RNA sequence: GCCGGGAUGGCGGAAUCGGUAGACGCAGCGGAUUCAAAAUCCGCCGGUAGUGAUACUGUGAGGGUUCGAGUCCCUCUCCCGGCACCA
């Protein structure tokens, strides 16, 4: 029966993962099983997992992510799709510079070494990847197109230059990433971080805000939670922009603010502006205390989380503006909580109806004037109450002509009155800000600009692209080493030809990852010539049919990618569909967490330790309370659990697992551990169980090979097809843990009746359902048992109706909602018959205690509930 | 602080539309096999009471809707992700 080629050795009784996995992988490579081209004869399925940052080693989050993708890719291939699953490297970024500082190795070399190692790891896991399409974003042939598209954006007014606020480390004289700021201090120096304004390039994502919001409705294949997060991030609000007129230095001026609660305008008792606001600067000119306060506001980090949680402070400017409707004098304050980057950098303050303003007014003894009332709710100055900000039930009071109006009516009337005075009107506003892409770092894509004393900032001409980043620099923590590289810096102005200086800022790495999915699709000819960014291959493969990645990317990466695709569409580079979206279906994988250990350094910075470097200290309840360093017994801080990451040093390398148990066990265990969308706290207990299962599958296959079906047909066939039905349902739901458990249940059933005439059919179903999760063992047994020459070409199994039929079924019997017994009835029995059978049931009679049934609930196929 | 999500045995988790809570696996316990161990196989395995049949109780906490709630509604606690320069 066997189709085995004569050269193959006899089947081994013992399960040897390393042998069968190498053989299967060699077979796939030789057959070019996963290298694909456009094929009009089949439906296409573009399956993409987010590409990894080459941090050094894979961690369990990667194994989880790429196994999920592989399960989908392989099962779709078996279902007849033309499947593309590519892989590449998000290769620019900060960790390479940190490694350079530590080890004095150029980021390029470190990155390429990491890529080589991690590629080997990925290959050893047997993923169905088309490696011919591999790309790395740090290679000039890729980032050339970042630069090219940036220049198109400049031409179209999407890219522009303005100032940006950054974290500045005064000791290292360098810009810090938010991640490098710990409790307001530089992570290496411990110095208090300052805010600093420097010029930078921005991409006008706000021009697409409305479309990015509206198009969320065209994405039924996205999780609701992600769409909700993106909608909230874009933050479209309908409000009123208006001005407080004032006279200063003999000139008539207007202070503009934006509010969504114009109905409370009569309750304004002061106005707060950001420390960077021109009015604050003006007021500080002859006010040393205010000037000092503004300086204080400029200290600290730029992170929103820090700004939102810090103590709210303010100081009066001594400048008064006129209330636009009453003409009353209102004082302007500087507030450390007002963001210059949002709206107008100034807000009207209504302490009675805004929680933050209320706390602020109480702190500084400012007036609080109630102008909204909810009938039946007493208002008092003592403490803030939720209803003070109620938009639904409130009506205006103490508001003159607006008294009695509800929120929307008042906003309409007030907006109209402001417009009549030429002091403002309704305006739609977005929370979304333009995307600042300039980074003062070396290991990134150079921004293609040349600075000329005569001509200013001049774009690099297309024919000079790419601007190549020298790969031999070694950053030392004191700023961008490109500033010391004359061979990079010195150039001539493309306009006037005079000596000029090249821009040394590089692009945010989110730029690199905003279009890589489109690049994977290009044909081999384009990969070779690199004469275009995308081509007909891209048009064939896009959009990505299934995108898989961590939930941490729910907002930024996914929003930037959607924006970038729409820009490419408007430039005519990708499909011209009105609302072209890059990712049709999205699976957001939950994070894999592990314990975090850290310690403050002498300088006040922070240092992390890997879990294997420490011993845990537990309390009586068994909870981890602390840890000591294994090397010297000194205590370290326990930081709870968090995402596995290079920077926190809490990643778990799957290599040991693969070497000990094989790729199939690692993959199966990872899928079995929990449903993909759920957060997973790492633990390897249970790996043994997955390995035992593999051994049992192999042993059953070995026995079945020489077994004659002698027994009589029992319930095996129905059981297997029932499990198959469930497995297919779960696969459709992307719930792979129960697909894995269905495989285990199938094997349990098969082992109970190995001589059943349907055992061979059942095992073929098990192998096919198992194959996307544990492809190597399935591949080997498929051939050994002579089912065919390649399981990848086998059809995906579907449950047979004939195998599922039954004539009786068991119903749950309840009395007053409590389980009291069960009931066997003919399939298709009508409600009256079921009810009659239930009422005469012995267990039912006992618990009814002779009382008459008030009501009988019959749920067909499920249960009967008798209510007495 | 704001936005999004989560919480079920000792542990990971299952329960499709509101209908048998704990599938499947791990750990543990008992047994078989073995000179012994590993491996393998069989059995038990939420809590309380009971020799047992069985009864009561039980899905983070408190309340509600319903014949019936892990699932729906309200309030709260803790944990995770994001907050625009980690990727």
pLDDT at A343 over 80: no
A847, closest nucleotide (Cα–C1'): B55
pLDDT at A360 over 70: yes
At A551, list the tokens.
């939930």
A307-336 residues near strand B (Cβ < 7 Å): 308-309
| Contact status, residue A267 vs residue A352, Cβ threshold 8 Å | yes
Q: How far is CA A189 from CA A298, A385, A414, in A?
A: 19, 44, 53
| Contact status, residue A135 vs residue A142, Cβ threshold 8 Å | yes
Q: What percent of chain A has pLDDT over 70?
A: 98
Choose the weakest-confidence range: A97-106, A213-222, A243-252, A380-389.
A380-389
Q: What percent of chain A has pLDDT over 90?
A: 69
Length of chain A: 868
A739 beta carbon to strand B: under 7 Å: no
Residue A3 banded pLDDT, cuts 50, 70, 90: very low
Q: How far is CA A532 from CA A17, A602, A717, in A?
A: 44, 52, 55
Distance, CA of A831 to CA of A837 (rounded, Å) = 10
pLDDT at A624 over 70: no
A672-731 residues near strand B (Cβ < 7 Å): 672-675, 678-681, 683, 685-686, 688-690, 692-693, 695-696, 726, 729-730
Query: Higher model confidence: residue A416 or residue A374?
Result: A416
Q: What is the pLDDT of residue A5?
A: 47
Distance, CA of A349 to CA of A358 (rounded, Å) = 9
A857 beta carbon to strand B: under 7 Å: yes
Query: Higher model confidence: residue A579 or residue A98?
Result: A98
Q: Report pTM.
A: 0.94
Identify the CA nearest to A366 among candidates A340, A344, A348.
A348
A163 beta carbon to strand B: under 7 Å: no
Tell me what ipTM this predicted complex has.
0.96
A774-793 residues near strand B (Cβ < 7 Å): none
| Contact status, residue A471 vs residue A440, Cβ threshold 8 Å | no
pLDDT at A787 over 80: yes
Tens digit of each residue's pLDDT (9 = 90 or more) over A109-137: 999 999 999 999 999 999 999 999 999 99
Give, as ranges, the nucleotides of chain B with any atom within 7 Å of a protein CB. 1-6, 10-16, 19-21, 23-27, 39-42, 55-56, 67-69, 79-87
Q: State chain A's mean pLDDT as an integer.
A: 92
The stretch A211-234 carries a mean pLDDT of 96
Question: Beta strands A438-439 and A506-507: pairing type?
Answer: antiparallel
Q: What is the pLDDT of residue A1?
A: 44
The stretch A759-764 carries a mean pLDDT of 96
Q: What is the pLDDT of residue A206?
A: 97
Query: Measured on CA atoms in the order A736, A739, A743, A744, is the torsion positive or negative?
Result: positive
Distance, CA of A483 to CA of A473 (rounded, Å) = 11
At A458, list the tokens.
């001049």
A681, closest nucleotide (Cα–C1'): B12
At A437, list the tokens.
């892409």
At A55, list the tokens.
């941090």
Tens digit of each residue's pLDDT (9 = 90 or more) over A62-77: 999 999 999 999 999 9
pLDDT at A6 over 50: no
Q: Give the highest mean pLDDT range of A374-388, A503-517, A646-660, A818-832.
A: A503-517
A378-397 residues near strand B (Cβ < 7 Å): none
């Amino acid at each position: 029966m066997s189709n085995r080629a004569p050269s193959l050795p006899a089947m081994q009784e013992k399960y040897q993962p390393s042998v069968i996995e190498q053989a299967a992988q060699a077979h796939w490579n030789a057959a070019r099983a996963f290298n694909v081209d456009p094929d009009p004869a089949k439906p296409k399925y573009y399956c993409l997992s987010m590409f990894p940052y080459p941090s050094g080693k894979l961690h369990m989050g990667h194994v989880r992510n790429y196994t999920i993708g592989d399960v989908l890719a392989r099962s779709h291939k078996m279902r007849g799709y033309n499947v593309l699953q590519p892989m590449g490297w998000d290769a620019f970024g900060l960790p390479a510079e940190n490694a350079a500082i530590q080890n004095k190795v150029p980021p390029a070399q470190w990155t390429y070494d990491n890529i080589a190692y991690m590629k080997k790891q990925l290959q050893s896991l047997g993923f169905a990847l088309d490696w011919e399409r591999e790309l790395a974003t740090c290679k000039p042939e890729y980032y050339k197109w970042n630069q090219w598209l940036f220049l198109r954006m400049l031409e179209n007014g999407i890219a522009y230059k303005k100032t940006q606020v950054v974290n500045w480390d005064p000791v290292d004289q360098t810009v810090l990433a938010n991640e490098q700021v710990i409790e307001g201090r530089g992570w290496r120096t411990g110095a208090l971080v300052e805010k600093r304004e420097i010029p930078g390039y921005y991409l006008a994502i706000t021009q697409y805000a409305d479309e990015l919001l509206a198009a969320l409705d065209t994405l039924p294949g996205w999780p609701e939670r992600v769409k909700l997060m993106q909608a909230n991030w874009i933050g479209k609000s309908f409000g009123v922009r208006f001005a407080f007129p004032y006279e200063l230095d003999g000139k008539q001026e207007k202070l503009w603010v934006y509010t969504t609660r114009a109905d409370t305008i009569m309750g304004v008792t002061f106005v707060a502006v950001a420390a960077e606001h021109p009015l604050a600067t003006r007021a500080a000119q002859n006010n040393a205390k205010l000037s000092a306060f503004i300086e204080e506001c400029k200290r600290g980090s730029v992170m929103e989380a820090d700004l939102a949680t810090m103590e709210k402070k303010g100081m009066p400017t001594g400048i008064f503006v006129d209330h636009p409707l009453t003409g009353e004098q209102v004082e302007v304050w500087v507030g450390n909580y007002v963001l210059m980057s949002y709206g107008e950098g100034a807000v009207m303050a209504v302490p009675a109806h805004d929680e933050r303003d209320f706390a602020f007014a109480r702190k500084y003894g400012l007036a609080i004037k109630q102008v909204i009332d909810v009938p039946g709710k007493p208002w008092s100055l003592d403490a803030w109450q939720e209803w003070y900000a109620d938009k639904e039930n409130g009506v205006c009071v103490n508001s003159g002509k607006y008294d009695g109006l509800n929120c929307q009516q008042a906003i309409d009337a007030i907006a109209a009155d402001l417009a009549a005075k030429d002091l403002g009107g309704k305006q739609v506003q977005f929370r979304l800000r333009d995307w600042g892409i300039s980074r003062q770092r070396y290991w990134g894509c150079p921004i293609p600009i040349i600075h000329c004393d005569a001509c200013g900032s001049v774009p690099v001409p297309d024919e000079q692209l790419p601007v190549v980043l020298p790969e031999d620099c070694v950053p030392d923590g004191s700023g961008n080493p490109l500033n010391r590289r004359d061979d990079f810096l010195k150039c001539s102005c493309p306009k006037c030809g005079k000596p000029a200086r090249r821009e040394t800022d590089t692009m945010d790495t989110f730029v690199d990852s905003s279009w890589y999915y489109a690049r994977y699709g290009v044909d081999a000819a384009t990969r070779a010539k690199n004469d275009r960014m995308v081509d007909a291959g891209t048009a064939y493969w896009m959009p990505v049919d299934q995108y898989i990645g961590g939930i941490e990317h729910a907002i930024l990466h996914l929003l930037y990618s959607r924006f970038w695709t729409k820009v490419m569409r408007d430039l005519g580079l990708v499909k011209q569909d009105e609302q072209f979206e890059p990712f049709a279906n999205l699976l957001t994988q939950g994070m894999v967490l592990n314990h975090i250990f850290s310690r403050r350094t002498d300088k006040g910075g922070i240092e992390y330790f890997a879990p294997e470097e420490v011993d845990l200290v537990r309390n009586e309840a068994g909870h981890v309370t602390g840890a000591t360093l294994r090397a010297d017994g000194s205590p370290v801080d326990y930081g709870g659990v968090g995402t596995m990451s290079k920077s926190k040093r809490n990643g778990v390398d799957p290599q040991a697992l693969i070497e000990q148990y094989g790729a199939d066990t690692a993959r199966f265990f990872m899928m079995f551990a929990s449903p993909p969308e759920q957060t997973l706290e790492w633990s390897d207990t249970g790996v043994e169980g997955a390995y035992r299962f593999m051994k049992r599958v192999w042993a059953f296959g070995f026995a079945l090979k020489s077994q004659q079906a002698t027994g009589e047909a029992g319930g095996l066939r129905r059981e297997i097809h029932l499990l198959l039905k469930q497995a297919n349902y779960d696969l459709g739901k992307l719930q792979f843990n129960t697909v894995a458990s269905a495989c285990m249940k199938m094997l349990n059933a098969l082992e109970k009746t190995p001589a059943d005439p349907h055992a061979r059919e059942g095992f073929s179903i098990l192998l096919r359902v198992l194959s996307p999760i544990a492809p190597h063992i399935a591949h080997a047994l498929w051939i050994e048992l002579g089912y065919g020459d390649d399981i990848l070409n086998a059809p995906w199994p579907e449950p047979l109706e004939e195998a599922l039929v039954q004539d009786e079924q068991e119903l749950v019997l309840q009395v007053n909602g409590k389980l009291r017994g069960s009931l066997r009835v003919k399939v298709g029995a009508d409600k009256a018959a079921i009810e009659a059978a239930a009422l005469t049931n012995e267990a039912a009679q006992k618990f009814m205690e002779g009382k008459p049934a008030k009501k009988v609930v019959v749920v067909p196929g499920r249960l009967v509930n008798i209510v007495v």
